[in-house]
Amino acid sequence: MKRLSILFVVFPLLAFMFAACSSPEKETIDSGSIIIGHVTDSHTWHICDYKSKDGTEHAVAINLPIILIDEGHLEVFSSKHFHHGHAVYQGKNHTYALIGGGLEKEEVVCVEKADFEKPPYIAEPVEVGEELYLKLKDDEGNVLKPIDISITKTAAAIIIAVTLLIIIILASAKKYKVRNGAPHGMQSLIELLVLHVRDGIVEPILGHNTRRFLPYLLTLFFFIFFCNILGLIPIFPAGANITGNIAVTAILALITFIITNFNGNKHYWKDIFNTPGVPAWLKIFPLMPVVELVGVFTKPIVLMIRLFANMTAGHIVILGFVVIIFILSNTLGMAVGGAVSVVSVVFAVFISLLECLVAYIQAFVFTMLSALYISMAVEEPEEA
């Protein structure tokens, strides 16, 4: 058994070394675009690439729906019409192109075929495939963009994550109705996490208000933890960097902000605008009320940035260890790349295991701080 365990460790390392040394061709590796392209959002869900017998490279991707609102008109079509940014799509009002990606933000803009024989130029040129187009501009000189409400990779991943989470939770809850014995399997894990959140996070902080806010805090914990874990699995339907998208973390922080302040009692607001134990001249100035009011908005901002930064950093570090294999293979030779691949893979696996711990810690911290902020807003002062 021990020899078999060693084989399971050594074989993947040899496979990576072989992959690094096997290709006789040296290709330019845009490491920045590869890494940033993984952690940012896009209009297609790229799965893998392959080469046909004639050497043509093909991309395997899921084409997500493009939904645009342009001058009051709804445009709905598949992202396959853009051919990964190499083609344009003719809509009702304008021609649309998908530009950016990699180190630049991917976005849909309105374009027109370039004709440099008829100046003046109406916008800056942009290359779409082998064709040259002009990005249209409005009267104020801003690039003309439709309102983009498309189902992007992050949105699709959220739908998948929420669906899977609901199925797991409902399946575990159903087992309690049909069997009174001890929980087992996934049911044991769900029960362990629910009790941990209730008894280890929410009840010590919120006390008698536990039942009131427990449903939201449980939902918050399970959503963040499940999305974090899915982001570490590199194969579809997982692999999307959901909590590494600042728009997602901003919405989660905004919900906590709304619940906190809408449930704040009179003592909560009194302590903000008339902070006890502070000299009167600081209240008249008014320095402390301004500081306290700013704190109301900085708390959710801290929640947002902490989760976003930690999850994004982990993905970047893991991808960095993988990409460095191919960079060294191109610059110093395949033998060097193959040798370095052993160290890179070991570190990448170590960081992946560390990210599993971080996935839990970030869900724990976000839930704990949300419970703490809510507790500060709803707690009643002790009677003297």
Mean pLDDT, the chain, rounded, equals: 80
AA identity, residue 268: Y
The two structure tokens encoding residue 354 = 């560390």
CA terminus-to-terminus distance, the chain: 67
| Distance between CA atoms of residues 49 and 61, nearest Å | 9
**Closest of 321, 323, 330, 272 to residue 296, by C-alpha:** 272
The two structure tokens encoding residue 50 = 């392959």
What secondary structure letter does DSSP report for 202?
I
Q: H-type helices in 179-245, by residue range?
A: 186-195, 203-206, 210-232
In this predicted structure, what is the pLDDT of residue 30? 66
Question: Which whole-number Å values give the CA distances from 124 to 92, 134, 144, 280, in the listed order?
Answer: 23, 6, 12, 59
Work out the number of other CB atoms within 10 angstroms of the CB of residue 121: 11
The half-sphere exposure of 216 on its side-chain side, counting CA atoms within 13 A, is: 18
> What is the DSSP code string of 108-140?
EEEEEE--TTSPSP-S-EEEETTEEEEE-B-TT
| Distance between CA atoms of residues 340 and 129, nearest Å | 36
| Cα torsion 175, 176, 179, 185: sign | positive
> What is the DSSP code string of 354-370?
HHHHHHHHHHHHHHHHH
Please give the chain's pLDDT, 384 residues, in tens. 455 444 444 444 444 444 444 444 555 666 667 777 777 888 888 877 777 777 777 777 888 999 999 888 899 989 888 888 888 888 888 888 888 876 678 888 888 887 666 555 556 788 887 788 888 887 777 888 888 899 989 999 999 999 999 999 888 888 777 766 666 777 888 888 999 999 999 999 998 888 999 999 999 999 999 999 988 888 887 888 899 889 999 999 999 999 999 988 888 777 777 766 666 666 666 677 777 788 889 999 999 999 999 888 888 888 888 888 777 777 777 777 677 778 888 888 888 888 888 999 999 999 999 999 999 888 876 654
Say if residues 75 and 90 touch (Cβ distance below 8 Å): no
Residues 203-216, buried b or exposed e (16+ Cβ, 10 A)?
bebbeebbeebbeb
Burial class (CB in 10 A: 0-12, 13-18, 19+), 231: buried
At 37, phi and psi to the nearest 5? -65, -30
As a whole number of angstroms, the longest Cα–Cα distance in the chain is 85
Work out the number of other CB atoms within 10 angstroms of the CB of residue 12: 11
| Distance between CA atoms of residues 36 and 59, nearest Å | 18
| Distance between CA atoms of residues 58 and 14, nearest Å | 27
